[in-house]
Amino acid sequence: MKTEIITSGTELLLGEITDVNTPYIAGELAALGIDLYYTSAVGDNYERFSGVLRQAWERSDLIIITGGLGPTQGDITRNVIAGLLGEALTIDPGLKREITAFFTGRGIEMPENNFRQATLIPSAAALRNASGTAPGWWVEKDGKIIVTLPGPPGEMQEMWQTQVLPRLKSSSGAIILSRTLKAWGLSEAKVDQLVSPYLAAANPTLALYARQDGINLRITAKAATEAAAHDIVLAREREIREIMGQYIWGVDDQTMEGEIGRRLNPMKHTLAVSESFTGGLLAYSLAGVPGSQSYFRGGIILPVSVDECSAAAADKKAETVRARFNTDIGMAVEGYYEIAGKTAGGRAFIAVNRASGRQATTVDYPGKPPQVVRRIINHALVYLMNSLT
């Protein structure tokens, strides 16, 4: 079923609001295994809206429209659909009663405008709106479907869950399942090269995304049952881990700092950190994990000059901060940022100190702050995480 989403509202084209309805509906469609090919936004202009809808009608089987169902003259979604299908808008007595009741229930008179919201065309069935006065439409004609939903995300989502989703589920057959592997330490191009054959596969699909926490690899499988979809995802995950498993630090919505907490908690080990040019980002990342109070005991930020920076100095600082905060683990990230010719980058000395021993590494990243600082802290977090196994 080829699907597209149209969001309507001049406020979208003025950048006054961010469209959160499209990603919501897109995610819901993906979970149903329904192919979404296009999304577009259009203003409250009859001619342009009609043009966009006519094109959608020609190329898609299912069209989902949000917005433009209000009582004002600027709300033209109903008119545009009636125009496309050549059907007349008439006031539906049942809808009129419901909308009138909405107002009398609140003890206020209904503005005449609101009758616009009680209109239907012969091909449309009304979708009830539990929290507003704008009913949606479910239109079926010539083997195609148009769904209209209100713009306010709360009303839209409720109508989606209670009325649209059940109708769509009964018309789709497959189960779709996704899992995201998260890698640090390889460029996007390198990952692309390593998993290249899988990127062309149709089921499961594999997609790469560059994110702040590295490269995300998303595996998506389609199957008749949930168990079958799960098996397809798992088999591909195994193959990818064979190729680049040592770079994968997490899955789905895991974070580096959250994963550190998940490992530290059962060990009952505590942690303190020392930083220089990363300025507190290591501490801030660790402290931001809910429940981190049980293991994160604090940090020191002490900017130092380039010539004070060394692996030995970092090692010493990891030891000192462990003693200062009386923790099981002391970690230091010391380093500097410099511009040499046209190349900017940072070098960091990372050290971890425990009663049982010490570890250290040195890392270089290109780029400018704050990106280079973020990359060095990610590297340090993964380094710490790997020491906690």
SS3 283: helix
Interface with its own copies, residue 70, by CB under 8 A = yes
Interface with its own copies, residue 193, by CB under 8 A = yes
Site string for its own copies, 152-191 (x = CB under 8 A): x-x--------------------------------xxxx-
Beta bridge partners of 357: 354
Instruction: For the chain, give the number of residues.
Output: 389
Interface positions, 87-106, toward its own copies (CB under 8 A): 101-102, 105-106
The one among 142, 143, 342, 357 contacting its own copies by CB under 8 A: 342
Q: Residue 387: exposed, middle, or buried by beta-carbon count in 10 A (0-12, 13-18, 19+)? A: middle
- What is 44-73 written as a DSSP string? S-HHHHHHHHHHHHHH-SEEEEES--SSST
CB of 389 to its own copies, least distance (A): 25
Residue 251 C-alpha from the chain's centroid:
14
The one among 58, 86, 93, 130 contacting its own copies by CB under 8 A: 130
3-state helix, strand, coil in the chain (%, to 5): 40, 30, 30
Tokens of 203: 């089921």
The one among 32, 33, 41, 349 contacting its own copies by CB under 8 A: 41
Interface positions, 365-384, toward its own copies (CB under 8 A): 365-371, 373
Which residues, in sequence order, are CB contacts of 240 under 8 Å at separation 6+? 181, 195, 198, 206, 217, 219, 248
The one among 29, 223, 309, 332 contacting its own copies by CB under 8 A: 29
Count, residues near its own copies per rule CB under 8 A = 102
Interface with its own copies, residue 268, by CB under 8 A = no
The one among 46, 54, 73, 323 contacting its own copies by CB under 8 A: 73
Interface positions, 202-221, toward its own copies (CB under 8 A): 207-210, 218, 220
